[in-house]
Structure 1
Amino acid sequence: MHLHILGICGTFMGSLALLAREQGHHVSGSDANVYPPMSTQLEAAGIALMEGFSADHLAPRPDLVVIGNALSRGNPEVEAVLDAGLPYVSGPQWLAERVLPGRRVLAVAGTHGKTTTASLTAWLLESAGLSPGFLIGGVPRNFDISARLGAPGAPFVVEADEYDTAFFDKRSKFVHYRPEIAILGNLEFDHADIFPDLAAIERQFHHLVRTVPGKGRLLVADKEPALERVLAQGCWTPVSRIGEAADSPWRFVLEREDASRFRVIHREGEVEEDAVVDWALTGDYNARNALAALAAAHACGVDLARGCAALARFETPRRRQEVRGEVAGIQVIDDFAHHPTAIAATLAGLRAATARGRLLAVIEPRSNTMRLGTLRDRLAESVACADAAYWYQPAGLDWSLAPVIEAAPVPGWKYDDLEALVAALVAEARPHDRIVVMSNGGFGGIHERLLAALEVAHG
């Protein structure tokens, strides 16, 4: 079958393309923006990529068109699909119908940490010899690929996004997946372009809860009021709380302040077991992510001690605290954080792990929610753990970053020219500094530009 995918370089749609290719389908696709790491993954898999959207991309005529949620009516290729009467589906529907039947599905949901937690879960299952399938909205470095089918009948881990499905299906993606085990890691307001308020997102999370069978398991973060409101709407599945509360059956206790070492305690009835995680990641939020993954893997039969030991070999997914390079002792880190809560958590984790030098934050407010300015009042405080913040005002951001910079507790500067931003960072950086770049897009290849410029200046 020839599948043609619209929006193929999105993290979800690109991963879906890899699964279709692994099933033996001929896969092609179009997208407006083609950039690594997804573009390189797809090209390596022999998938033809076409820049932009055009009716010409539909020749030869595909058997099925899979349409991503970034595409809407008025897009020339969407209009051509409809006019030609081509069969089409959404990505989540295709996944649910063509990959997930007969699999034990583990869904990872939450406002933050989905990619890391899904990667952790897949790695724990892999390290236990279960050869899981997975579809993750990033590239887990333990696998170097964002999706695979895994062994027939093996568990399947899916990053379960609450964003809507397609222009013709406004339900959240995750209602398609029908998981047996669902992680609800956290919940706060996001996606202001499609949700009017937090209550609307809670309703979608409850739709997910409704799909989990009674024989399954809900792993729900403690101390999350929004998630408690979700469960209060109705729950028919056993719930295990995860977090730091003393009465949670899955909890962790830090043994190092930066969360690079912590103890996991699991209590089930009268039986209690514990084991220590000593790993390369930092930050309380990553300890929470690991705890959720351990609980999910344990539900699939993975021994706690074995799982904790495997975390020592876990590598962060690409674009999650990923060290892109180091020049003259100056480290450049790439991180996907784009919500104030995620920015603050990322910087707090890096601050705790930075013994020498300064932490310089570089932020591009690029997401749809950021462009609308919905959370801009929280941006200033989000950089409190940095020594300085460099703000980039991308095209299409209709509000000024100047008030954010003025209100921030650390020095800050605004740029709308990428070359000027790189030059300022190079002039300021000195040995032992860590430059953390936070954006949910390609950011004009700033990481490569910055490393090249640092090499010229300090190499």
Structure 2
Amino acid sequence: MSQVIHFISIGGSAMHNLALALQQQGCTITGSDDEIYEPSRSRLQQHGLLPSETGWFPDKITAQLDAVIVGMHARKDNPELVKAMELGLPIYSYPEFMYQQSRQKQRVVIAGSHGKTTITALILHVLKYHKRKFDYLVGEQIEGFETMAQLTPDAPIIILEGDEYPSSPIDARPKFLHYQPHIALISGIAWDHVNIYPTWDEYVDAFELLAEAMPKAGILIFDESDDMLDVIGQKERTDITKIPYLPHPATIVNGQTVLLTKKGSKVPVQIFGQHNLKNIAGAMTLCDRIGITEEQFYEAIPTFKNVALRLEKLAESDQRIIYRDFAHSPAKVEATTEAVKHQYSDRKLMAVVELHTFSSLNKAFLEQYKGTLEAADAGVVYVDKKALEGNPDAITANEVLLGFDKPGLSVLTTPDELQSFLTKHHNSADVLLLMSSGDFGGLNLKALVN
């Protein structure tokens, strides 16, 4: 695979990983971007792929290129993209390119509003544990894997985390529609990304299209407890096999979650919560279809560590525990809060959630958060003042209180305010759960942990 490939917007999370994976396979890689953040910057630099200067340079686009891969960060009028189109070069979004490179492989796609990264990571962990050959694309850096993507000529199977975001600035189709999976797993549907899917129906349509686009003799695996998925799973398609799953049976022994197997044995795992028991069941159902037996799955699973920022334990003492989680959408906030409360049912839980995504700062969307913090003994919502300034339609503290409908909820708007609130009330909760895909406006976590 000695192609010459140029990346427009090489600094993206998936983009830079694909660039590294292709370089490992002997491709000549060039790239551009107008801003590159860590860890992409260091990783590109380490492999000699960091552009010498930021910005867009049409002279990098020549007829000698075998392909141009364009990321979502670029715009339609990007000068490099415009020139590539003028020259008639093959232009791909990264999901399109992944498909082109894996046409001869068995393609497995994990999709869903929540749980897809964890399920993908579980499957990759089990396959690696049993020394299977496989390629992959996953949305986060996971333990034991150098890159988030791998493409090799000889792996018979590829495991793809598929998301519903648009593919590229010139292709509005959801990324996962490009993969044409032989096996698809959908972990759950909960409305998100209102800037892309303004209505619930439009959001659900994307997942229906994924199920409908599967080739004949495909396998669709889905969470039976999700009402919407049950509807999709029961749709008339006699030429595909549908396999529903439910949360894996488990119990808690001395504060650790233990899986209960059909044969009566107990398998300790390092993750917890009902949502993770669903993730384990989904991964196990899928692994069964790609030649991993239940015994092999149970052998590998105790050493699986959670994906970064998924129920990550920041600190623990005899009196207190602090967790941090990536949860930000309503379904994730609710599942994560319930999981921590269930794991520590005899302790007081304070749950803190930051609203900072386009969806969560949308007035019409706020009501989706109703009841999501119900399992917590105390709730705090943080909305950074900077995110609201200059916006005439900005949400108000009162609208947040109405949206969450949580008695005694505190709404805070500056990191200092949040820091002093948590410090002042640290004796009123034994377990502190911080949920955000951001950083709470620069909250000093070190001081908080101390």
- Give the TM-score normalised by the residue count of structure 1: 0.83
CA spacing shift, 1:255–1:225, aligned 2, 3 Å: same
Distance across 2 between alignment mates of 1:339 and 1:354: 23
Is it true that 1:379 corresponds to 2:379 in the alignment? Answer: no
- Match for residue 390 of structure 1 among 370, 377, 380: 380
SS of residue in 2 equivalent to 1:370:
coil
Deviations 1:181-210 (A, max 9, x none): 111111232221122333323332232223
- Unaligned regions of 5+ residues in structure 1, if any? 245-251, 266-272
Deviations 1:24-70 (A, max 9, x none): 3324342646244x555545544416897x335x5644745422234
Is it true that 1:69 corresponds to 2:65 in the alignment? Answer: no
Q: 1:4 maps to what in 2?
A: 7
Residue 281 of structure 1 deviates from its aligned partner by: 0.8
CA spacing shift, 1:282–1:360, aligned 2, 3 Å: same
- Match for residue 418 of structure 1 among 411, 415, 418: 415
Deviations 1:198-243 (A, max 9, x none): 3323332232223333333211211333223334554231111111
Q: 2:391 maps to what in 1?
A: none
CA spacing shift, 1:197–1:433, aligned 2, 3 Å: same
Q: 1:293 maps to what in 2?
A: 283
Residue 289 of structure 1 deviates from its aligned partner by: 0.4
Q: 1:199 maps to what in 2?
A: 201
SS of residue in 2 equivalent to 1:441:
coil
Q: 2:251 maps to what in 1?
A: 255
The percent of aligned pairs where both chains have the same amino acid is: 22
Q: 1:13 maps to what in 2?
A: 15
Code of the aligned partner of 2:203: I
Q: 1:441 maps to what in 2?
A: 438
Q: 2:56 maps to what in 1?
A: 55
Q: 1:248 maps to what in 2?
A: none
Is it true that 1:405 corresponds to 2:401 in the alignment? Answer: yes
CA spacing shift, 1:186–1:22, aligned 2, 3 Å: same
SS of residue in 1 equivalent to 2:252:
coil
- Match for residue 350 of structure 1 among 340, 353, 362: 340
Distance across 2 between alignment mates of 1:212 and 1:142: 31
- Match for residue 293 of structure 2 among 279, 293, 303: 303
Q: 1:247 maps to what in 2?
A: none
Distance across 1 between alignment mates of 2:435 and 2:20: 27
Code of the aligned partner of 2:415: L
Code of the aligned partner of 1:339: S
Residue 119 of structure 1 deviates from its aligned partner by: 0.5
CA contact (8 A) 2:135 2:158 kept: yes
CA contact (8 A) 1:357 1:431 kept: no
Residue 417 of structure 1 deviates from its aligned partner by: 2.3
SS of residue in 1 equivalent to 2:211:
helix
Deviations 1:145-165 (A, max 9, x none): 422236822421111112221
Residue 133 of structure 1 deviates from its aligned partner by: 1.9
Aligned pairs for 1:423-434 within 5 A: 423-430=420-427, 433-434=430-431
Q: 1:450 maps to what in 2?
A: 445
Distance across 2 between alignment mates of 1:324 and 1:189: 29
CA spacing shift, 1:114–1:46, aligned 2, 3 Å: farther
CA contact (8 A) 1:9 1:39 kept: no
Distance across 2 between alignment mates of 1:131 and 1:32: 35
Q: Tell me the matched-pair count.
A: 431
Structure 1 vs Structure 2 CA RMSD: 3.1
Distance across 2 between alignment mates of 1:402 and 1:262: 43
Residue 107 of structure 1 deviates from its aligned partner by: 0.6
SS of residue in 2 equivalent to 1:306:
helix
Residue 422 of structure 1 deviates from its aligned partner by: 2.7
CA spacing shift, 1:169–1:392, aligned 2, 3 Å: same
Distance across 2 between alignment mates of 1:340 and 1:121: 26
SS of residue in 2 equivalent to 1:13:
helix
Residue 401 of structure 1 deviates from its aligned partner by: 3.7
Deviations 1:220-275 (A, max 9, x none): 2113332233345542311111115xxxxxxx32333988223355xxxxxxx776
Distance across 2 between alignment mates of 1:181 and 1:83: 37
Deviations 1:121-151 (A, max 9, x none): 1111112221322111112224354222368
Q: 1:164 maps to what in 2?
A: 166
After the TM superposition, which of the residue ranges 171-180 and 15-24 deviates more from structure 2? Answer: 15-24
CA spacing shift, 1:276–1:215, aligned 2, 3 Å: farther
After the TM superposition, which of the residue ranges 338-347 and 323-332 deviates more from structure 2? Answer: 323-332
- Give the TM-score normalised by the residue count of structure 2: 0.84
Residue 22 of structure 1 deviates from its aligned partner by: 2.6
Distance across 1 between alignment mates of 2:427 and 2:136: 41
Distance across 2 between alignment mates of 1:46 and 1:301: 38
Residue 430 of structure 1 deviates from its aligned partner by: 4.8
Aligned pairs for 1:184-333 within 5 A: 184-235=186-237, 236-243=239-246, 252-256=248-252, 260-265=257-262, 276-325=266-315, 330-333=320-323
Distance across 2 between alignment mates of 1:65 and 1:8: 15
CA contact (8 A) 1:356 1:432 kept: no
Distance across 2 between alignment mates of 1:43 and 1:373: 42
